[in-house]
């Protein structure tokens, strides 16, 4: 038996007679066993534990009768005493009393649960032993265990919430053992969903799925449980994406509300496009998705569940190049979501505004405080592209703070950020409101959002506006929130007319909206010989996620291959199974009269450095439309490879255009489908032109602002200073 020092002894007069009086009662009536129970309890509460045990054992040894009834009576007295101590916050005494109840009735599930709760509160190291003992007791039962469900919920909350991800394995075993026996699952499902969320935030997708599916076992048609299974499956990629389609379809079958239908169609589109499934189904899903979004905006709904719509709208960019219409849908949706968020947290928002009104330091008083907000301070395109700006910031003129919405994971890029920014790198497991409060407490002057529509957390924080100036840069596109003041662009990536359909003011940098120092390149793992391609064969290359592929763009690419003799097309898609990509493209190629022997389907390279090295095999890279490459375009240009891109109207359809203009290459820029094919054919047939472009691209490494991260940092800093001057009037 375990004991503990009793620092909080209670007086024997608290609803108990004195030890002397109980001893006198026993002398006067030795057969009244309750006097032994109360005398032992009085000893116990005075810290005289051995005397208590001896006193309780006396009747059993002396009278040898009615032992079971006496044990029940003693246990009831001890339980009442324990509950009284708990009510009076005397938890150490309660813990000691319950240990003795456990000796008499070691299989009492509720008593052990209460001991576990006290273990947690008192930080007693018996926690694991007690949980394992409880698991063993339940596993040996032949009948359904009976226990206090509210007590179990309280215990699990205390076990799980402090660190949902890193809870010990024995806690998960306790969940598996007891939760299936709950009669009322309403209290425990939110706990399991919260645990699934926590694992998802730190990219532990398997455990996230495990807890979401566990919650679903308790309530098989619970939409909140189903929707927690879908994103981690899709993040795992490959065959898991196809598995997610069945879950999405189940979700849509059960969904009743328009918002639920939008959420479901959003994930269905992601699954269809990423896995290169039926294009016809993708189009139908998109049409329904867009129609539901439009109707929601028109309805001007004020439903609290609108917060789930915060980051929705990215598939408008993938499926069509129609910003004058689609931006208005996104802007309207953002306005509705922002209204709901701000209505939910008026005190926080008022606190932020008070700071804005009271402190407007001039640039001479102190350095500007710039906060960067992202889920992607890790091995990710955004994490890589942002690195150069953050690395080259002038730390004398600017105080830089990073706010990471992705929990701690082992990642070399993330570690580099931590090393570089030390205590200014904030990665606590905050709620979105708590993170907004942290940004406000740090007195950030300009908050820069790096993720845009890729992040629920970024959107929520931007809607709360914890900084007086908020800016969007990188990400997919602008968010559409009126709380965001500026959207960083340049003179090419958005046409002059774009301001007509953006709520944010477009801030055009003088040269380019991105600048980096270049890329590290590894050792190639493919060769012409390994791909059975002759040395004089012309190799076209396309490496994009399945989200960016569509039959129309692929048909244009096939027309190019068909017209260039001895040409081959190498294709791969990030997160897609290359067999799925082949099944998607082969029928289009056959319809265009392209021999399938001209196509090569490659699996994704295990590292970015290897991927870039393998790019060197290409003679020409064919871009996607209406969503161009971004990082992939930068990699292509860095490797000195000619690129054919189709320029559109939306931001996503002009990334390659602005990058090519900034390296001084116009060959390959197409303004129509016809030009796209023409450039593709010309570059395939004209080796001298390809060499000329390759030379320009090699020279651009020394001259282009695209490859000058330090210069780009100065341009961004100038922009920040001008923004602040406009705001402060200084």
- The mean pLDDT value for 660-670 works out to 97
Alpha carbon 444 to its chain's center:
24
Q: How many CB atoms lie within 10 A of CB 500?
A: 11
The predicted pLDDT at position 392 comes to: 96
Would you say 660 and 634 are in contact if contact means Cβ atoms under 8 Å apart? no
The predicted pLDDT at position 59 comes to: 86
Q: How many domains does the chain have?
A: 3
pLDDT at 706 over 80: yes
Classify residue 164: in a domain, yes or no.
no
Would you say 719 and 507 are in contact if contact means Cβ atoms under 8 Å apart? yes
Binned at pLDDT 50, 70 and 90, residue 399 comes out as very high
Classify residue 155: in a domain, yes or no.
no
The predicted pLDDT at position 570 comes to: 96
Nearest to 286 by CA among 255, 263, 319, 311: 319
Q: How many CB atoms lie within 10 A of CB 353?
A: 13
**pTM reported for the whole predicted model:** 0.81
Of residues 413 and 401, the one with the higher pLDDT is 401
The predicted pLDDT at position 662 comes to: 96
pLDDT in tens, 632-642: 999 999 999 99
Least confident range of 159-173, 411-425, 542-556, 661-675? 159-173
Nearest to 665 by CA among 632, 625, 630, 636: 636
Same domain, yes or no: 433 and 414 = yes
Sheet architecture: strand order including 643-646? 599-601, 567-572, 538-543, 620-622, 643-646, 669-670
Sole residue written with tokens 């215990």: 155
Classify residue 354: in a domain, yes or no.
yes
Nearest to 588 by CA among 251, 238, 328, 276: 276
pLDDT at 171 over 70: yes
Give the whole-angstrom CA distance, residue 23 versus residue 35.
Answer: 8
Same domain, yes or no: 566 and 690 = yes
Binned at pLDDT 50, 70 and 90, residue 12 comes out as very low
Same domain, yes or no: 287 and 355 = no
Same domain, yes or no: 478 and 579 = no
Q: What are phi and psi of 385, to 5 degrees?
A: -65, -35
The predicted pLDDT at position 385 comes to: 94
The predicted pLDDT at position 9 comes to: 40
H/E element, 403: strand 398-404
Least confident range of 280-289, 355-364, 611-620? 355-364
Query: Over the chain, what is the mean pLDDT?
Result: 90
Q: What are phi and psi of 699, to 5 degrees?
A: -65, -35
Same domain, yes or no: 429 and 572 = no
Classify residue 42: in a domain, yes or no.
no
What's the CA angle centered on 148, arms 144 and 151, to 5 degrees?
135
The predicted pLDDT at position 378 comes to: 87
Q: Who's near 353: CB < 8 A, 6+ residues apart?
A: none
The predicted pLDDT at position 4 comes to: 37
The predicted pLDDT at position 588 comes to: 96
Q: Which residues pair with 543 in a beta bridge?
A: 572
Binned at pLDDT 50, 70 and 90, residue 727 comes out as very high
Least confident range of 443-452, 565-574, 710-719? 565-574
The predicted pLDDT at position 1 comes to: 36
pLDDT in tens, 524-578: 999 999 999 999 999 999 998 888 999 999 999 999 999 999 999 999 886 667 7
Sole residue written with tokens 């990509």: 581
Classify residue 15: in a domain, yes or no.
no
pLDDT at 10 over 50: no
Report the first-to-last Cα separation within the chain, whole angstroms: 73
Q: Where are the alpha helices (DSSP H) in 161-238?
A: 169-178, 189-201, 205-218, 223-236
Whether the link from the prior residue into 273 is cis, omega within 30° of 0, is no
Q: What are phi and psi of 364, to 5 degrees?
A: -85, -20
Give the whole-angstrom CA distance, residue 654 versus residue 650.
Answer: 7
Give the whole-angstrom CA distance, residue 543 versus residue 571.
Answer: 6
Would you say 240 and 233 are in contact if contact means Cβ atoms under 8 Å apart? yes
Q: Which of 344, 362, 382 is the last residue of a domain?
A: 344
619 conformational bin, left if phi > 0, alpha if psi -120 to 50, beta if neither? alpha
Same domain, yes or no: 594 and 703 = yes
The predicted pLDDT at position 329 comes to: 95
Q: What is the CATH number of the domain that holds 430?
A: 3.40.50.11380
Q: Which of 292, 317, 344 is the last residue of a domain?
A: 344
pLDDT at 6 over 50: no
Classify residue 94: in a domain, yes or no.
no
CA atoms 655, 660, 662, 667: torsion sign: negative
Binned at pLDDT 50, 70 and 90, residue 187 comes out as confident
Q: How many CB atoms lie within 10 A of CB 532?
A: 10
Q: Which residues pair with 540 in a beta bridge?
A: 569, 620
Same domain, yes or no: 434 and 366 = yes
Would you say 229 and 250 are in contact if contact means Cβ atoms under 8 Å apart? no
The predicted pLDDT at position 514 comes to: 96
Classify residue 216: in a domain, yes or no.
no
The predicted pLDDT at position 173 comes to: 87
Q: Which of 312, 344, 376 is the last residue of a domain?
A: 344
Same domain, yes or no: 659 and 589 = yes
The predicted pLDDT at position 430 comes to: 64
Nearest to 452 by CA among 334, 579, 328, 589: 334
Nearest to 146 by CA among 99, 175, 183, 192: 183
For residue 555, the enclosing domain spans: 538-707
pLDDT at 654 over 80: yes
pLDDT at 228 over 70: yes
Q: What is the CATH number of the domain that holds 692?
A: 3.40.50.2000
Same domain, yes or no: 329 and 355 = no
Give the whole-angstrom CA distance, residue 38 versus residue 29.
Answer: 14
The predicted pLDDT at position 13 comes to: 38
Classify residue 69: in a domain, yes or no.
no
Same domain, yes or no: 560 and 429 = no
Same domain, yes or no: 497 and 551 = no
Q: What are phi and psi of 387, to 5 degrees?
A: -55, -40
Q: What are phi and psi of 518, to 5 degrees?
A: 120, -165
- The mean pLDDT value for 178-204 works out to 82
Query: What would the DSSP string read from start to end of 447-480?
Result: EEES-GGG-HHHHHHHHH--SSEEEE-SSSS---
Alpha carbon 383 to its chain's center:
15
Nearest to 706 by CA among 652, 666, 651, 663: 663
Which of 50-64, 352-366, 469-483 is predicted most confidently? 469-483
Same domain, yes or no: 414 and 321 = no
- The mean pLDDT value for 568-593 works out to 88
């Amino acid at each position: 038996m375990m004991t503990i020092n009793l620092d909080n002894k209670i007086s024997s007069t608290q609803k108990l007679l004195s030890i002397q009086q109980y001893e006198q009662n026993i002398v006067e009536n030795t057969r009244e066993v309750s006097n032994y129970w109360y005398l032992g309890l009085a000893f116990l509460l005075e810290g005289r534990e051995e005397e208590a045990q001896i006193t309780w054992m006396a009747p059993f040894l002396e009278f040898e009768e009615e032992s079971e009834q006496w044990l029940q009576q003693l246990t009831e007295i001890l339980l009442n005493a324990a509950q009284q101590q708990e009510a009076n916050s005397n938890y150490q005494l309660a813990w000691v009393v319950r240990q003795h109840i456990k000796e008499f009735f070691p299989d009492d599930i509720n008593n052990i649960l209460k001991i576990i709760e006290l273990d947690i509160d008192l930080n007693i190291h018996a926690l694991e032993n007690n949980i394992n003992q409880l698991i063993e007791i339940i596993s040996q039962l032949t009948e359904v265990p009976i226990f206090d469900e509210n007590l179990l919920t309280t215990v699990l909350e205390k076990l799980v919430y402090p660190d949902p991800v890193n809870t010990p394995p024995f806690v998960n075993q306790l969940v598996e053992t007891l939760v299936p026996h709950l009669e009322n699952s309403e209290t425990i499902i939110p706990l399991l969903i919260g645990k699934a969320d926590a694992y998802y935030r730190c990219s532990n997708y398997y455990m996230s799925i495990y807890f979401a599916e566990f919650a679903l076992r308790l309530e098989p048609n619970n939409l909140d449980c189903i929707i927690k299974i879908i994103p981690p499956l899709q993040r795992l990629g490959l065959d898991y994406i196809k598995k997610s389609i069945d879950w999405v379809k189940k979700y849509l079958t059960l969904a009743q509300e328009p918002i639920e239908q939008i959420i479901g169609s959003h994930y269905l589109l992601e699954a269809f496009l990423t896995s290169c499934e039926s294009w016809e189904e993708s189009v139908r899903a998109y049409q329904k998705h867009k129609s539901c979004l439009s109707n929601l905006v028109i309805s001007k709904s004020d439903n609290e569940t609108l917060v789930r719509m915060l980051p929705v709208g990215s598939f408008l960019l993938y499926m069509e190049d129609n910003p004058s219409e689609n931006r208005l849908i996104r802007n309207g949706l953002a306005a509705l979501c922002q209204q709901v968020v701000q209505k939910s947290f008026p005190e926080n928002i008022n606190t932020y505004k008070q700071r804005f009104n009271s402190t407007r330091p001039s640039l001479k008083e102190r350095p500007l405080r710039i906060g960067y907000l992202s889920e992607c301070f890790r091995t990710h395109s955004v994490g890589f592209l942002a690195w150069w700006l953050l690395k080259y910031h002038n730390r004398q003129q600017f105080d830089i703070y990073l706010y990471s919405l992705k929990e701690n994971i082992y990642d070399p890029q993330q570690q580099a950020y931590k090393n570089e920014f030390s205590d200014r790198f904030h990665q606590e497991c905050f709620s979105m409101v708590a993170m907004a409060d942290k940004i406000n407490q740090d007195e950030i002057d300009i908050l820069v959002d790096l993720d845009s529509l890729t992040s629920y957390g970024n959107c929520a924080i931007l809607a709360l506006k914890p900084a007086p100036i908020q800016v969007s840069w990188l990400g997919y596109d602008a968010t559409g929130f009126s709380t965001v003041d500026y959207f960083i662009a340049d003179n090419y990536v958005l046409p002059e007319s774009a301001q007509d359909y953006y709520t944010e003011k477009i801030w055009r940098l003088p040269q380019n909206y991105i600048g980096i120092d270049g890329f590290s390149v590894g050792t190639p793992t493919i060769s012409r010989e390994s791909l059975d391609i002759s040395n004089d064969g012309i190799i076209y290359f396309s490496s994009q996620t399945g989200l960016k592929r569509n039959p129309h763009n692929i048909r244009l690419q096939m027309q190019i291959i068909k017209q260039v003799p001895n040409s081959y097309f190498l294709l791969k898609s990030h997160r897609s199974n290359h067999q799925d990509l082949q099944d998607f493209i082969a029928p289009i190629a056959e319809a265009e009269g392209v021999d399938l022997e001209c196509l090569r389907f490659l699996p994704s390279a295990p590292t970015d450095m290897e991927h870039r090295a393998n790019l060197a095999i290409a003679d020409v890279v064919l871009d996607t439309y209406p969503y161009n490459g971004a990082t992939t375009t930068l990699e292509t240009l860095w490797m000195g490879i000619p690129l054919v891109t189709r320029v559109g109207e939306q931001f996503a359809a002009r990334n390659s255009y602005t990058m090519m203009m900034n390296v001084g290459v116009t060959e390959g820029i197409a303004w129509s489908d016809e030009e796209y094919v023409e450039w593709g054919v010309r570059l395939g047939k004209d080796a001298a032109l390809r060499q000329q472009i390759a030379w320009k691209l090699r020279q651009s490494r020394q001259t282009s602002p695209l490859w000058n991260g330090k210069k780009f940092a100065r341009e961004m800093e100038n922009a920040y200073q001008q923004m602040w001057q406009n705001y402060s009037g200084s």
